[in-house]
């Protein structure tokens, strides 16, 4: 019995110490600074015009006219950097946003970062490959694969998120099964080495205005997202030739195109 208690006491003591340690670890935030709100605004445009769903008519690089009925894309893994190079990565679980043109409330990606002045913003356009392999308990909210086929952003049969979905009407598109001249671009692809459309975008904020993050204010980095870039860049797309792009090699070229669509307009501090 004595032997037993001799063993147990140190065991309990060490357990307590361990517990104390791990508790301390949990309560300490990643950075020592106070967190304050920062938002990134995604203002969708088409060339020199504001994007107006369904009603706006635009022209692509090939001279084809088109309208937009659906535009939505994933923004994730946001990080910010100061002039001295220190970087803050937003905790990943709070860093997934689905920007949907049809819902103005979704145009802001709202995060919390330590107070300070940030000169550079980095984010993923799409969903990182690791998240694709995570348990469903880590895939709530915009990552919930419950969306279905129509406006959903998940391909069940290949287990991948659609990173960007762009659909609309164009007289250049042939009549489809629904009797419409519709083009449909669903761009995804994360898994195989020769098929990865995850894009990392870094934006220099110095010219348009650094983000001054402090408590009691919400610094807002206002970006323009020019969706006409999907049609032009390293490869000029013709809607007549490509009325539908989904899981297909050609999507790599379209993803390379639209990865350049973001431009920093200004920052509201």
Partner 1 sequence: MQRCSAMTTPKTNPMQRRYWLILCCGAAIVMACSKKWAEPPKKAFEGFSRPANFPEATYRFANNAITEAKFELGRKLFYDPRFSRNNTISCGSCHIQSAGFTHHGHDVSHGIEDRLGTRNSQAIMNIAWGKSFFWDGGVTNLDLQPIVPINNPVEMDETIENVIKKLREQPQYPGLFKKAFGSEEIDTERIMKALSQFMVMLVSANSKYDKVMRNENNEQFTEAEARGYALFKTNCASCHKEPLFTDESYRDNGIGAGPNNDPGRFGVTQNEADRLKFKVPSLRNTLYTAPYMHDGRFLTLDAILEHYAENVRNTPNLDPALKQDGQPGLPLTAENRADLLAFLKTLNDQQFVTDPRFAETY
The DSSP element (H or E) to which 16 belongs, if any, is helix 2-27
Site size for partner 1 (CB under 8 A): 24
Least distance to partner 1 from the beta carbon of 102, Å?
16
Q: Which of 192, 207, 215, 216 binds partner 1 (CB under 8 A)?
A: 192
Q: Which of 1, 26, 27, 157 binds partner 1 (CB under 8 A)?
A: 157
CB 37 within 8 A of CB 219: yes
Cross-strand bridge partners of residue 37: 112
Residue closer to partner 1, measured from CB, 146 or 207: 146
Residue closer to partner 1, measured from CB, 85 or 148: 148
Q: Which of 16, 18, 103, 140 binds partner 1 (CB under 8 A)?
A: 140
Q: Which of 32, 146, 177, 216 binds partner 1 (CB under 8 A)?
A: 146
Residue closer to partner 1, measured from CB, 1 or 149: 149
Least distance to partner 1 from the beta carbon of 131, Å?
12
Residue closer to partner 1, measured from CB, 144 or 236: 144
Q: What are phi and psi of 24, to 5 degrees?
A: -60, -40
Token pair 């994933």 in the structure block, residue: 74
CB 175 within 8 A of CB 181: yes
129 is an interface residue for partner 1 by CB under 8 A: no
End-to-end CA distance of the chain: 68
141 is an interface residue for partner 1 by CB under 8 A: no
Q: Which of 92, 158, 196, 238 binds partner 1 (CB under 8 A)?
A: 158
The DSSP element (H or E) to which 124 belongs, if any, is strand 116-125
Cross-strand bridge partners of residue 244: 184
Which residues 215-254 are close enough to bind partner 1 by CB under 8 A? 247-249
> Which tokens go with 82?
């100061």
Exposed, middle or buried, 203 (CB in 10 Å: 0-12/13-18/19+)? middle
CB 184 within 8 A of CB 244: yes
Q: Are strands 35-46 and 219-226 parallel, antiparallel or unpaired?
A: parallel
130 is an interface residue for partner 1 by CB under 8 A: no
Least distance to partner 1 from the beta carbon of 252, Å?
10
Among residues 176, 187, 183, the alpha carbon closest in space to that of 247 is found at: 187
196 is an interface residue for partner 1 by CB under 8 A: no
Q: Which of 149, 177, 179, 216 binds partner 1 (CB under 8 A)?
A: 149
What Rg value do the Cα atoms of the chain yield, rounded? 23
Residue closer to partner 1, measured from CB, 140 or 206: 140
Residue numbers at the binding site for partner 1 (CB under 8 A)? 133, 135-137, 139-140, 144-149, 152, 154, 156-159, 192, 194-195, 247-249
């Amino acid at each position: 019995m004595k032997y037993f208690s001799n063993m147990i006491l140190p065991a309990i003591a060490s357990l307590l110490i361990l517990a104390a340690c791990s508790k301390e670890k949990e309560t300490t935030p990643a950075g020592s600074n106070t967190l304050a709100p920062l938002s990134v605004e995604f203002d969708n445009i088409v060339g020199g015009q504001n994007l107006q769903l369904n009603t706006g008519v635009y022209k692509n690089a090939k001279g084809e006219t088109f309208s937009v009925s659906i535009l939505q894309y994933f923004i994730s893994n946001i990080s910010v950097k100061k002039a001295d190079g220190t970087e803050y990565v937003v905790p990943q679980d709070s860093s997934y946003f689905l920007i949907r043109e049809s819902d103005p409330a979704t145009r802001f990606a709202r995060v919390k970062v330590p107070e300070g002045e940030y000169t550079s913003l980095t984010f993923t356009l799409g969903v990182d490959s690791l998240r694709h392999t995570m348990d469903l308990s880590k895939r709530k909210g915009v990552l919930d694969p419950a969306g279905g086929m129509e406006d959903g952003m998940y391909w069940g049969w290949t287990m991948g998120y659609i990173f960007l979905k762009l659909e609309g009407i164009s007289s250049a598109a042939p009549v489809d099964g629904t009797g419409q001249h519709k083009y449909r671009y669903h761009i995804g692809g994360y898994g195989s080495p020769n098929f990865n459309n995850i894009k990392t975008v870094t934006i220099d904020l110095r010219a348009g205005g650094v983000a001054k993050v402090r408590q009691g204010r919400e610094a807002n980095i206002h970006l323009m997202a020019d969706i006409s870039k999907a049609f032009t860049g390293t490869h000029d797309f013709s809607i007549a030739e490509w009325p539908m792009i989904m899981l297909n090699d050609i999507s790599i070229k379209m993803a390379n195109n639209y990865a350049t669509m973001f431009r920093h307009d200004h920052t509201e501090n």
